[in-house]
Amino acid sequence: MKQYTLKIYFGDNSAPAYFGGDRQDDSSNTTPFQVALKKSRDCNSYAACLCTGKELPLSVRLRMEKHHLARFPLTGIKHREDCRFYSSLSPEGPQGCYTQDALKEKPDGTINIKLDYPLQVTGPSTPIDSSLRSGDASRNNKRDTVSILGLLHFLWETTSYNTWVPKMDGMRSSTKLGYHLFKQAEKIEAGKTKLSDVLLTPAYTNSSDSRRNSMTVERAKVNKQRLVVIAELAKFSESYMDGLNRLPVRDFSGMPFLGLDDARWKSALDRFPIAVNGWIKGMKVFVIAVTDVPGAKSAQVRQLALMMVSDRYIPLDSLNEGAFEQKLFELERSFYKPLRYDSSTYEYLADFCLTDVSTDNHLPIPVEIWGMNTPDYQEHRMVKERWYNANYGETGWLSWDATRTSVDSIESLLPKKMKSLYHDIIK
């Protein structure tokens, strides 16, 4: 990988230093490059990679008595592909719950994902467990496969649909989302199967997306491949709760009849109560499903997961998050939503991160939403507050108590917008 020119900052009162690839010598602590990194860290400043001609921020960290540079969250994919800081993966975040066998980047940039089951059927089709084993991994107990919910989170994050800046308003729809998911799937292999070869996405009648879906189904029949379906659930109806013998989705042009037995459907409703509650209340809910090899006109769904999203397709873990995200939109704020993948709930994660302001270390400001007032929850809250203080400092994070203050109070909690390293990067 190539070493592009770096720009190292030393605070507001000193001119930055530039280091070309031939000057990035870190053979000892006394080289000019290491001295510059130490000074930058002492000034609580940062560096930037100039591989694209624009500044992509890098944090300065001390490890094993030497200073090193690390990517900022969500920026790895923004670097040139031949840059040493380029990566489609973000193992420093919740993706760190996977082993390299589960999620890895090949030398040609392809992402190889090992799902809980193969998409290619080579012999008699083995049954797929209807239960979804997810949310059970940590950095100390890594997972060697990726669940379909983890796959959905990966696609959502690598297409940047967990990020928002005001200029995106009016630019998103379910079919545009589907197209972007498909383009990302072209870079992903599940085993030896290219994900785009088996992926069905939202499509209108007589559209190019519909024709692509139809071709995908026909190819899966010939190649004996299971289908992966990502679609928005149809508008809620009470009649759906007991099952319809099919998966109730909208914008399904080009897809086969998606058969679904009532037991699997009710199991999914039980496993994703937050998404179901949001669906009942009129929120958008997306489903990712894996089917058997399709037949003449239908494909039987064998496993599925649900995810609630906002009108801007930002994933949400609660209705309180939905209210907060809506307020951020109305206030024209920029932010992103960290996604959990298959990491355990014991692995702490911010609910949102503001990208139009930054902390003293130039990272986005994390936001926590407190949603309950029970004794057990309050005990959990104190533990998590200590975690935030230890990782971000007492003034380096924000919180909103949805049980005590109204949505209208959110504006007064937020710091004023200011120039941020992230604002132009995540668009």
Can you tell me the distance from the alpha carbon of 241 to that of 42, in angstroms, rounded to the nearest whole number? 58
Does 108 have pLDDT greater than 90?
no
For residues 87, 88, 94, 95, the Cα torsion angle rounded to the nearest 10 degrees is -100
Give the pLDDT of residue 362: 74
Cα–Cα distances in Å, from 298 out to 95, 117, 230, 255, 395?
A: 34, 21, 16, 9, 55
pLDDT tens for residues 180-203?
Answer: 999 999 999 998 999 999 999 999
pLDDT at 349: 93
Cα 310 from Cα 319, distance rounded (Å) = 10
Listed residue (180, 48, 156, 186) closest to 95, CA to CA: 156
Q: Cα(141)–Cα(171) distance, rounded to whole angstroms?
A: 40
Angle between helices 174-185 and 208-223 (to 10 degrees): 40
pLDDT in tens, 65-79: 899 998 887 788 889
DSSP string, 168-235: GTT---HHHHHHHHHHHHTTEEETTEEGGGTEE--B-TTSHHHHHHHHHHHHHHHHTB--EEEEEBPS
pLDDT exceeds cutoff 70 at 405: yes
For 255-334, strand residue ranges (E) read: 257-259, 284-291, 298-309, 315-316
Q: What share of the chain is helix, strand, coil (3-state, %, to 5)?
A: 30, 25, 50
Question: Once rounded to an integer, what is the mean pLDDT over residues 225-242?
Answer: 96
- For residue 412, pLDDT beyond 90: yes
Cα–Cα dist 258/249, whole Å: 9
- pLDDT digit string, tens, across residues 304-326: 999 999 999 999 999 999 999 99
Are residues 285 and 278 in contact, defined by beta-carbon separation less than 8 angstroms?
yes
pLDDT at residue number 321? 98
pTM: predicted TM-score of the whole model, two decimal places? 0.89
DSSP conformational letter for 356: S
302 pLDDT more than 90:
yes
**Torsion angles phi and psi, residue 77, rounded to 5:** -75, -10
Which strands sit side by side in the sheet containing 47-49, from one edge to the other?
17-19, 6-8, 47-49, 56-63, 66-71
Q: Of all helices (H) and strands (E), which one includes residue 149?
A: helix 148-158
Residue 131: predicted pLDDT = 67
Which residues fall within 8 angstroms of residue 315, CB to CB, at 6 or more apart?
153, 156, 162, 307, 308, 309, 337, 339
Measure the N-to-C terminal CA separation of the chain; round to a whole number of Å: 25
Q: Which residues contact 272 (CB under 8 A, 6 or more apart)?
A: 305, 306, 307
Q: Indicate the pairing of strand 188-190 with strand 111-113.
A: parallel
Q: Which two tokens stand for residue 95?
A: 């993706």
The strand pairing partners of 243, in sequence order, are none
Task: Name the least confident of 10-19, 259-268, 418-427.
Answer: 418-427
191 vs 325: CA distance, rounded Å: 36
Q: What average pLDDT does this structure show over 121-148?
A: 80
How many whole angstroms separate alpha carbon 125 and alpha carbon 2?
Answer: 45
What is the residue-averaged pLDDT of the chain? 92
